[in-house]
Amino acid sequence: MRFAKLFRPVAAALAGSLLIVACSQAEDQTETTGVHAAETAAGSLDELMATGKGIYEANCGACHQPGGKGLPGAFPPLADSDFLQGDREDVLAVALFGLSGPITVNGQEYDGVMPSMGHLKDEDLAAALTYVFNSWGNAYAAVTPSEVASLRKKLGREDRAEGQRHAGATEGELRYRGAPSPIPADETRQLQSKEGPPLTDEQFASATQLYFERCAGCHGVLRKGATGKPLTPDITRERGTEYLKALITYGSPAGMPNWGTSGELSPEQVDVMARFLKQEPPSPPEFGLDDMKATWKVLVAPEDRPERPQHERNIDNFFSVTLRDSGQVAIIDGDTKEIVSVLKTGYAVHISRLSASGRYVYTIGRDAKVDMIDLWMNPPRIVAELKVGLEARSVETSKYKGYEDKYAIAGAYWPPQYVIMDGDTLEPLKVVSTRGMTVDTQEYHPEPRVAAIVASHENPEFIVNVKETGHILLVDYSDIDNLTVTDIGAARFLHDGGWDRSKRYFLTAANQSDKIAVVDSRERELVALVDVDKIPHPGRGANIDDPEFGPVWITSALGNDKVTFLGTDPEGNPEHAWKVVRVLHGQGGGSLFVKSHPASKNLWVDSPLNPEEAISQSVAVFNIDNLDAGYEVLPIAEWADLGPGPKRVVQPEFNKAGDEVWFSVWSGQEEESAIVVVDDKTRKLKHVIKGPEVITPTGKFNVYNTVEDVY
């Protein structure tokens, strides 16, 4: 397709000079020029031009100027523009979906990013284009709303996970990558530079908070780049305030959200943010051992805890359930479906991990607060807590024989570091920074965040993913005073992953690199780096016995509908080991988790970040014995019988027996959510858990399956 030649997506917004040619479309090269009045169904040409002028000035004029002359070196001209003489479909596609990369207009090269104008209604975009096509020396056929609608349909939905705002970046990518940082603005070092534009103290503090909430997830706390491009002052000052305002307002096809036109930021906020980005970035404080000890609390000392369970419930089948927006965790009895306890934890708990004994739940919130919950107590309660930084995602406990529960470990996003703690009390013992060089370009990165951590079964080691630099660290805890760390170079943007069925091989996604790294935890080496697509997000993955290829590990993806199978049996099936052996197609992109169980004949795939409600509110399930038959769709959100709300269905989790699979139906904080329990064999609704306590449930972790790494 011709459009593919024009569109060259980039990873983030501020890659170069902003190329706002949203209104610079062309007609096909026929002998017919001038306005076709018959095509202007929205009204007469004069009316259409008047309407189009207003839309152009509101959305395009700031960059291309009211007279269409653009700005040399920054924004290309639309007046007498030879770009408009190109293929009509290609040029219209730029307005709808944006453009990135070098382009030559009237003999001058522009190299930057043009945002999508797809947020405009078909009739409004058609009017604006008609105005451009017939102003300032241009004389081309009018653009009709039906022409815009037809092209939007033809080019905009190639990937079912792709939204209409940003061609080249899926809705799943945008929602996933832009997770807010919980770092409070008032905890940062806020110094204004004389070289930057002046801001009041109130404006500076407000912009700092907006940046942490909206931008830090992609561009990093220090603005030096993460999954998004750097936004340091040497770059932003060169671009200028108007450029930054346009970018923040309109977004880009590379995945930058259109904060202004979406209504999420006011024009005043856009202006403040543009000026703020030209200032030196505020730096959050470091968080060392003394800082951690100041937050450390042992609420119930080990000697004061019960010597045996104080209740008769089946702890192995308990579930630890994140109540995300309430900053709580619910402990639910998987046998009776009763909520046993609701505990105040860190904000937006990312994961729960279990001690090797199954007695203790360790949770970590995005605010970097670790809580230790004793399941033997009646009701379960928090017995120790610790804050390990300002933002975090991962926690784990030691599982190697002889070291069970001796240590716990937590990894932080900010500061970029991990800390080893006493497994009984959470006393912080050892803090290690992860700052260092990237695996590919060997450049220093000041903010490489700690993503997934798993406990090795083969050696006394924690396996630690360092996200931005692409290093997998094998942290030997047998002597923490003389810590030994083996550094395995994998691929950048490491995120989540899990074990194969043997619990020897750790498979983990380097999501922005579109790869799966395979680590042999026994031999302590990288055995494979497998290409997959697009933006794999396995959670912990799923292990099944493929009827054709033997043992496999499975991941789904954010960026497309692929469900990818990797062979994991180098001894029994060496010809398939560490290769993609099968790719299924699910409902659509925007998937976060796949799940199966040794007792199950089903493979479950969610799609909570898909923009289509019918997909995000349901799950796909495959029959393992007949994978080629395709999937069945189960209407999980409908079964929950809730009121209004997004009702995204997320994270299948099995009970201990493997005959039930639990789903979170995740709505807004002020809306009703639920947990839906499905019979794995019949695929029928079995139970719904809901009520005022069930607020924004997300992750669910069965005690037995988490202890034993069953997935």
Residue type, 450: V
| C-alpha to C-alpha distances, 32 to 84, 151, 244, nearest whole angstrom | 15, 21, 39
* The Cα angle at residue 493 between residues 491 and 495, in degrees rounded to 5: 105
The candidate with the shortest Cα–Cα distance to 398, out of 448, 338, 354, is 354
Q: Is 597 an active-site residue?
A: no
d(CA 392, CA 697): 19
d(CA 350, CA 320): 11
Instruction: Specify which residues 619 forms β-bridges with.
Output: 634
Instruction: Specify which residues 450 forms β-bridges with.
Output: 466
Whether 366 contacts 393, CB under 8 Å: yes
Q: Which of 60, 215, 372, 421 is catalytic?
A: 215
Q: Is 23 an active-site residue?
A: no
d(CA 290, CA 387): 11
Tokens found for residue 437: 């060089």
The candidate with the shortest Cα–Cα distance to 225, out of 293, 177, 164, is 177
Tokens found for residue 319: 């579930």
* The Cα angle at residue 347 between residues 375 and 497, in degrees rounded to 5: 75
Q: Is 445 an active-site residue?
A: no
d(CA 539, CA 679): 22
Q: Is 215 an active-site residue?
A: yes
N-to-C CA span, the chain: 41
In the 8-state DSSP scheme, what is residue 557? B
Q: What number of other Cβ atoms are within 10 A of residue 290's Cβ? A: 9
Q: Mapping DSSP to helix (H, G, I), strand (E, B) and coil, where does residue 333 land?
A: strand
| C-alpha to C-alpha distances, 155 to 2, 94, 235, 318, 573, nearest whole angstrom | 11, 11, 33, 47, 42
Q: Which of 49, 60, 114, 218 is catalytic?
A: 218
Peptide bond into 534 cis (omega under 30): yes
The 3 state secondary structure assigned to 62-101 is HHHCCCCCCECCCECCCCCCHHHHCCHHHHHHHHHHCEEE
Residue type, 221: V
Residues 6 or more apart from 468 whose CB is under 8 A from it?
A: 220, 226, 227, 438, 445, 447, 448, 449, 492, 493
Tokens found for residue 477: 């805890």
Residues 6 or more apart from 626 whose CB is under 8 A from it?
A: none
d(CA 115, CA 94): 9
Whether 97 contacts 155, CB under 8 Å: yes
Pairing of strands 674-679, 685-690: antiparallel
Peptide bond into 448 cis (omega under 30): no
Residues 6 or more apart from 692 whose CB is under 8 A from it?
A: none
Handedness of CA 512, 471, 365, 540 (dihedral sign): positive
Q: Which of 166, 219, 350, 597 is catalytic?
A: 219
Q: Mapping DSSP to helix (H, G, I), strand (E, B) and coil, where does residue 213 land?
A: helix
Residues 6 or more apart from 566 whose CB is under 8 A from it?
A: 507, 516, 518, 530, 552, 553, 554, 555, 578, 579, 580, 581
Q: Which of 119, 445, 537, 597 is catalytic?
A: 537
Q: Which of 60, 63, 256, 292 is catalytic?
A: 256
Q: Please, where are the H alpha helices in 413-453? A: none
Residue type, 499: W
Q: Which strand (E) or helix (H) includes residue 528?
A: strand 525-531
CA torsion, ordered 680, 685, 687, 690, to nearest 10 deg? 120
Q: Is 64 an active-site residue?
A: no
Would you name the residues annotated as active-site residues? 215, 218-219, 256, 495, 537
